[in-house]
Amino acid sequence: MWPRSRISILGLAFLAGSPFVNRTLPAPAPGVGNPARVTCAFSNPRFSGWCRVTEDVPDTSTPEGVCQTVLSCLNTVSCTKTYCNATEIRSGWRLEKVEAESSALSDANSPSIISDLI
């Protein structure tokens, strides 16, 4: 016959492997999927120099998608967001470059060019 302490230990071991035990999964490391931020560079013949916009990249988007959203806003009169020193130029913008900030897995905060559209 087994002593009670051994039965209790076996019972706990069985319970620990049970699907009824509430387990929490660790949160994914930040920056593993998408880069955390992206810098988009835009040009417009009526704007002096390039306009650079830095935005967060949500998990549901890509760096290019974020830049396309900003481009759409810059070229739409009804968009109320302000970019490029609050410019009122709302047409003729082109996306020139997409630079995603490196995630925690790569070199310390060095940007990586995702696309250079020039």
pLDDT category of residue 42 using cuts at 50, 70 and 90: very high
The mean pLDDT of 57-74, rounded to a whole number, is 96
- For residues 37-61, give the mean pLDDT: 95
pLDDT exceeds 80 at position 94: yes
Overall pTM > 0.75: no
Separation between Cα atoms, residue 79 and residue 66, nearest integer Å:
15
Q: What is the pLDDT of residue 31?
A: 43
Could you state, in order of their start, the residue ranges of all structural domains in the chain? 37-116
Please tell me the predicted confidence (pLDDT) of residue 115.
55
Give residues with Cβ within 8 angstroms of 73, minimum separation 6: 79, 81, 83
